[in-house]
Chain A
């Protein structure tokens, strides 16, 4: 790479500079149809959850997100099996559900062996107050820990405690760099994560008082 000549443009395996459309599909196969219940086993609890969700709406398709969410809980991510099972219960094609799953940030379509989701907000307010460094620190602290999935996230709606993170849905902040390893330690120990910094203990009125209360 020292020759000073033009640096080759990175290319994908198929020779193009953009990712291909052929990655997720087997071009030799027929398109997947609505799965046949007779040959598609679905875990009974998952079926029950999805059926209950479908019953809540005038149109069963409205249950797509809750159903995919339930399947993701069970399988770890929206895997092809997860999608097939949901498709079977909802009587929809796997392609339709894949189109839904790929749209939403909280539905994962890549394997993810993690048990804990740590979303570090790096949007405007949080980044003004140091979120980018915080994200690095949390990523470093969890390096090598298979069960913790750290990712940056857009505004989580808690800019009052910026910089903040959501750990398995629990909002914590304002965070310092020293808090990063403690998040991982608390997760490992199965304790509530940084309990004194959890949003739920913050007052709505006179939030300044809450900060000092929280520091006790």
Chain B
């Protein structure tokens, strides 16, 4: 298995400039100083590297969207890492901060950018301290500042610490937060590449994406593209956690079977237990089951399976776990983190959480599952950013794939709570009115679309 980002990652002192330079650090930058920005962009384009933060957009294309010409452009590195299950950026920042700094500088040169920022989530205070120390060293050595290494490029880098809000990982929420406001996402378009930070064109990339940049330059874009699959090139850090024997970050070549990551690298669930469900790409990705373990781990294969690679975080739950418990955690998280700007997300996340809680307290009927499914459908595509979708997709997948179990939970909880037997409730005729097909909105066309 090729090791690129995690090469010598555990070497003591790798976070210092001295060791990093001794290991070939900042050589890629020196090379870039002899290239034109177009040549640098071309290498990145040729590598085919796709964003590692969640959306999987090609980095080279994003750079090419930046307008040319003499204007104040910005680069923002997204180190807000708060997608539940994800802990790879943390590792890169604390173990190899100079690799990130070098990547930021090279990307800035490619985009003709002079002012750069790294937005680190506030909770990563120790990691930010390490990065701050590295930043000082990089300025001291002339890699940052006026006319870096006596070239014509002047690049500044500011470390910005957040204060705890998942939504600030969403790129436009992050921009508002960096401008000193509440982190509410903005309407797109305009996309940040056209109008972003302080209204200037802005390149936003994830920590891991930027960390690959020095390696792309070192190896050459074409060589990098040979790794992975045709449309998902390179290696990816995968954070594996939950019911596995060896939780941790693993660097894999994109396209290897998921089973190899979960069982081969992370050891699978302890005591030979079976997997019940797993999130392939953080809590926002629709769940898969043990029947899906042979899906290749890359952007397109997972998309084809109706889910997504997301941030590359696998969370495994074994046969002992209750789907309901996890669903409640997921819904509660998104309800807490919704910024409240759009109604479907603010209300939908909150009510989904309440409906799931009602299952546990014995107040729910199977009809609630249909209502819940319809709420998810009405969130998807109707919000300003995709935080709403990020709850609707996993919850929708859990209701669809584990309906029997959830219905059993409803029955059991009603019994515990001494609620009226379900037959009596059904006899009232409530449940009968539900159409029995699974697709489409549950409310009658006439009712919900009146006046539309």
Contacts and interface: CB of A to CB of B under 8 A. Distances in A.
Given A154-B333, A203-B10, A103 B165 contact: yes
B111 interface: no
A65 B162 CA distance: 7
Interface in B305-363: 313, 315, 317, 321, 325-326, 329-330, 333, 336-337, 339
B115 A158 contact: no
Contacts of A200: 94, 126
Interface string B164-188: 1110000000000111111100000
A207 B265 CA distance: 10
A22 to B, nearest CB: 20
A65 B163 CA distance: 7
A61 B248 CA distance: 38
B56 interface: no
Contacts of A153: 123
B201 to A, nearest CB: 14
B376 interface: no
A178 to B, nearest CB: 20
Contacts of A154: 82, 84, 166, 333, 336-337
Contacts of B330: 124
B87 A157 contact: yes
Interface in A111-148: 119, 122-125, 127-129
Contacts of B326: 124, 127-128
Nearest to A103: B182
Interface in B52-103: 72, 81-87, 89-91, 94-95
A61 B179 CA distance: 6
B259 interface: no
A194 to B, nearest CB: 15
Interface string B238-272: 01111101111100000000000000000100000
Contacts of A107: 163-164
A160 B247 contact: yes
A83 interface: no
A170 interface: yes
B163 A104 contact: yes
Interface stretch (A25-33, A52-60, A183-191): A52-60
Contacts of A105: 163-165
A208 interface: yes
A208 B246 contact: yes
B443 interface: no
Contacts of A129: 242-243
A173 to B, nearest CB: 10
A166 B87 CA distance: 14
Contacts of A122: 329
B126 A159 contact: no
A197 interface: no
A162 B241 contact: yes
A63 B242 contact: no
A157 B90 contact: yes
B121 interface: yes
Contacts of A59: 179-180, 198
A106 interface: yes
A128 B163 contact: no
A129 B161 CA distance: 29
Given A105-B164, A156-B123, A200-B126, A205 B87 contact: no
A56 B158 contact: yes
Interface residues of B, number: 64
Contacts of B158: 56-57
A123 B87 contact: no
Contacts of B125: 169
A123 B115 CA distance: 35
Contacts of B20: none
Contact of A123 (B84, B121, B180): B84
Contact of B321 (A56, A128, A169): A128
A42 interface: no
Contact of B242 (A100, A103, A159): A159
A2 interface: no
B84 A125 contact: yes
A157 B123 contact: yes
A155 interface: yes
A77 interface: no
Contacts of B72: 58
B122 interface: yes
Contacts of A68: 163
A62 B197 CA distance: 10
B6 interface: yes
B386 interface: no
A56 B117 CA distance: 10
Contacts of A155: 82-86, 283, 333
B218 interface: no
B181 to A, nearest CB: 7
Residue in B115, B160, B243 whose Cβ sees the most chain A Cβ within 10 Å = B160
B9 interface: yes
Given A58-B115, A62-B179, A69-B161, 15 more contacts: A57-B158, A58-B72, A62-B180, A107-B163, A123-B84, A123-B283, A124-B84, A127-B329, A155-B86, A157-B82, A157-B89, A157-B121, A157-B123, A160-B247, A162-B242
27 contacts: A58-B72, A58-B198, A59-B198, A61-B180, A65-B162, A65-B177, A69-B161, A99-B182, A100-B180, A103-B182, A105-B164, A107-B163, A107-B164, A123-B329, A124-B330, A125-B85, A127-B325, A128-B317, A128-B326, A154-B166, A154-B333, A155-B82, A155-B333, A157-B82, A169-B125, A204-B9, A208-B246
Interface of B: 6, 9-10, 72, 81-87, 89-91, 94-95, 115, 121-126, 158, 160-166, 177-183, 198, 239-243, 245-249, 267, 279, 283, 313, 315, 317, 321, 325-326, 329-330, 333, 336-337, 339
